[in-house]
């Protein structure tokens, strides 16, 4: 609710942080492995502004860890190291949707937008920014729509196969359809923005893009592994 204090957002964030949920963050690029012996082997591949060997050793002592290999591949904080040691953090995208922006001034909306990242103002009553909200949800969830095309038929644009992840491959699509589809896979025909020509004959590693069309070509029964 745009008319309510922004402190409500901060309270929710602190609650989620306490449960190990990290909003709009990526896992720290830190390699960590416990060992049976050998002490602490610490390597920093980039300059560290916070962590040093004494501080890392102090953190490890809190967890009763004496022997470990740690490679810092980013400028990490103490909290980053703790999150990696704990190993149970969840990193999720978050979009802050402020409804009822018709109740506040345009200047207030612009001020909130400047101070808060991942912010989208809407008005459910007047339908403001609803289409933008749909697009943002799709973007933040990192979803890809792939349409199927049976041989000799038109593509089915009514029920796309939904894949999640930045790099969605033909193999991921096949596994999403049926776990045994890959056993009889020969190649795929792909139409859309990921295809260099129409259609493109693609293998399992081909990366699909949103709203691509795909037709899976199976091996003949005599050549199939299960034949």
Give the pLDDT confidence of 15-73 residue by residue, as tens digits.
999 999 999 999 999 999 999 999 999 999 999 999 999 999 999 999 999 999 999 99
pLDDT at 167: 77
What distance separates the 2 farthest-apart alpha carbons in the chain?
A: 70
With cut-offs at 50, 70 and 90, classify the pLDDT of residue 9: confident
∠ Cα 120 123 125 (to 5°): 160
- Cα dihedral 81, 82, 87, 93, rounded to 10, equals -80
Over residues 107-133, the mean pLDDT reads 91
pLDDT at 190: 98
With cut-offs at 50, 70 and 90, classify the pLDDT of residue 227: low
Terminal CA-CA length for the chain = 60
For 91, the token pair is 């990193």
> Does residue 170 carry a pLDDT above 80?
yes
Global confidence as pTM: 0.72
75 closest CA partner among 50, 42, 41: 50
For 177, the token pair is 């359809």
With cut-offs at 50, 70 and 90, classify the pLDDT of residue 226: low
> Does residue 163 carry a pLDDT above 70?
yes
Residue with tokens 């081909």: 206
Residue 81 Ramachandran class (φ > 0 left, ψ -120 to 50 alpha, else beta): alpha
> Does residue 223 carry a pLDDT above 90?
no
State the Cα–Cα distance between residues 27 and 53, nearest whole angstrom.
21
51 closest CA partner among 25, 21, 72, 37: 72
State the Cα–Cα distance between residues 206 and 187, nearest whole angstrom.
10
- DSSP-assigned letter for residue 219: P
């Amino acid at each position: 609710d745009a008319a309510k204090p922004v402190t409500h957002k901060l309270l929710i964030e602190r609650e989620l942080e306490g449960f190990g949920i990290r909003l709009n963050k990526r896992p720290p690029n830190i390699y960590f492995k416990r060992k049976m012996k050998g002490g602490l082997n610490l390597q920093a591949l980039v300059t560290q502004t916070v962590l040093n060997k004494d501080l890392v050793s102090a953190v490890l002592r809190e967890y009763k860890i004496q022997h470990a290999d740690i490679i810092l591949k980013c400028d990490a904080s103490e909290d980053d190291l703790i999150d990696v040691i704990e190993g149970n953090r969840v990193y999720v995208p978050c979009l802050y949707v402020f409804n009822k922006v018709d109740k506040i001034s345009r200047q207030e909306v612009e001020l909130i937008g400047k101070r808060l990242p991942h912010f989208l103002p809407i008005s459910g009553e007047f339908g403001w920014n609803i289409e933008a909200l749909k697009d943002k949800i799709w973007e933040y969830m990192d979803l890809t729509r792939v349409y199927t095309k049976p041989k000799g038929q038109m593509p089915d644009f009514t029920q796309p196969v939904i894949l999640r992840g930045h790099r969605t491959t033909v193999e991921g699509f096949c596994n999403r359809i049926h776990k045994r589809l890959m056993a009889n896979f020969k190649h795929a025909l792909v139409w859309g923005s990921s295809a260099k020509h129409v259609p493109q004959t693609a293998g399992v590693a081909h990366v699909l893009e949103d709203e691509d069309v795909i037709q899976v070509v199976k091996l003949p029964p005599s050549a199939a592994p299960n034949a």
